[in-house]
Chains A and B, each alone.
With several copies, the nearest count.
Chain A
Amino acid sequence: VADVDVARGLDAGEDPHGPKGMRGPPGGPRYAALVPYEVQTSVFEGPFDLLLHLITRQQVDLYEISLSTIIDAYLVELERIGRMDLEVATEFVLIAATLIELKTRWLLPGRDIDDLDEEFGRWEERDLLLSRLLECKTFKDAAEALQRLAARAVRSQPRRAGLDERFAHIAPDLLAGVTPQKLHAAFLRAATPRPIPRVDLFHVAPVRISVQDAVEELLDELPRAGRLTFRQLTTGLVERLEVIVRFLALLELYKQGAIDLEQASIFGDLQVTWLGMPGDEDPASLVAAEAYEG
């Protein structure tokens, strides 16, 4: 599943031609059945928003829905909006990547498990996701309440007239002690450009990293370190995509039994422990098994 979807999601995001290039596949009958698109929302506010929408409006089962369906749905939404700006494109790549991350988390540790512990683990994952969706929904509704309060408050305007001229003589001289030099300095402070916010350039300068490369890097790093946290492993990575690709690489190694993963608390740092190469497999074969690109 992941192979196809990773490729499509990122290709779409990197396409410099905008909406024309982003036209998703028309979608088979399955797509039409699962996602009858009658969307009121404009742009989804992140992956949880999209998931919430898909689940509550379409009543779909996320395990049944393929990632490509979700991405198609998103492409349909983008087309409906009828415009393509950088923000939307960035958002799209982000959503696609995060969905891949979420989906991979459910899929990689194995679909057919007999082990009870693992089965429980899957339920935990599901509960975690459920709790995050509920949290997302809670703040969405809270935001609407804030909006209503603000809309009501704006109907009453405060008095701001201040002192009238009768009191001008006693108003303190606010300019006492202000010299032309101080004013000059204040201007320079105000006019000096503030640090320009870093612009995410996913869509114009695609990050060319593959999970394969990431696995190789990890195979180099992990045996030496033995035990590391995910945070340590991703220190210095600037792009979110790089972090996600590293994460996918870790899952791959986990699947192969080369590492163990532990997370002490929800949102806690992921502890990565090197277990050694499974069997007498050569690291090279492990790398070769990995084909998909990020």
Chain B
Amino acid sequence: MASEEQRAIEAILMVAEEPIEPNLLAQLLEISQERVSQLCTELAAAYDAEDRGFVLVKVAGGYRFQSHEDLAAYVERFVLEGQSARLSAAALETLAIVAYKQPVSRAQVAAIRGVDVDAVMRTLAQRGYIAEVARDPGPGQAVLFGTTTMFLEKLGLDTIDDLPPLGDFVPGPEMVEVLEQGLRPSAS
């Protein structure tokens, strides 16, 4: 049976999208880092003993769940057969907003698109087309996104300035407001 502390670690690692550093886990559980390491080692051993299809590993200084390497063939098959291989129109529009308006926060993109963009932004980031590039200096310090070198390569662009210019396109008033509000430096 998993202990309460182990259960908490399992829950956190299950929802985390990045490897979680031991000191963050220690802080969340209010226990020492040594204890965190010990608990994670125990969990990893338990999954191994039960012959689970996933493992708990330490990568890039943090802990995460990942699929067992034995089962790579199934995962590859899932990637190739189960996932759509094209960007949806909605995803393309989201990418376009990030490309033209970078650096831009998730909330600003959502405000322009008028819908929830979290899932799309996550996919774009996972694929390496966009990445966190800065923090909004204002209160809240929202993460600001921009396009990556990989994005430029895929589109055959040298620099981001090589995108077709927006020319005399006049954005709607809501959009101007969204962009101005979000990026206004705080306490000026």
Contact = CB atoms under 8 A, between A and B. Distances in A.
A137 B90 CA distance: 13
A278 B17 CA distance: 73
Contact of A56 (B65, B168, B175, B186): B175
Given A62-B182, A146-B99, A149-B157, A161 B85 contact: no
Given A156-B156, A158-B65, A159-B66, A193 B113 contact: no
B155 A183 contact: yes
Contacts of A178: 87, 92, 154-155
A187 B93 contact: yes
B183 A149 contact: no
A166 interface: yes
Contacts, number: 282
Contact of B122 (A52, A59, A152, A162): A162
Contacts of A172: 79-80, 83, 85
A193 B183 CA distance: 20
Given A55-B178, A172-B80, A186 B95 contact: yes
Nearest to A165: B59
B49 interface: no
A290 to B, nearest CB: 24
Contact of A180 (B157, B175, B176, B181): B157
A48 B113 contact: yes
Contacts of B114: 46-49, 98, 132, 136, 194
B124 to A, nearest CB: 8
Contacts of A98: 114-115
Contacts of A135: 112
Interface string B81-98: 001011101111111110
B115 A45 contact: yes
Contacts of B123: 162, 174
Interface in B141-181: 151, 153-157, 162-164, 166, 168-176, 178-181
Given A63-B184, A134-B176, A163-B15, A141 B169 contact: yes
A114 interface: no
Contacts of A153: 153-156
B44 to A, nearest CB: 13
Nearest to B86: A174
Contacts of A284: none
Contacts of B46: none
Interface stretch (B26-34, B35-43, B67-75): B67-75
Contacts of A145: 96, 164, 168-169
Given A130-B180, A132-B112, 12 more contacts: A47-B114, A61-B186, A62-B183, A64-B186, A141-B171, A146-B95, A157-B66, A161-B65, A162-B15, A175-B129, A183-B155, A200-B116
4 closest Cβ contacts across the A-B interface? A193-B172, A153-B156, A55-B182, A46-B115
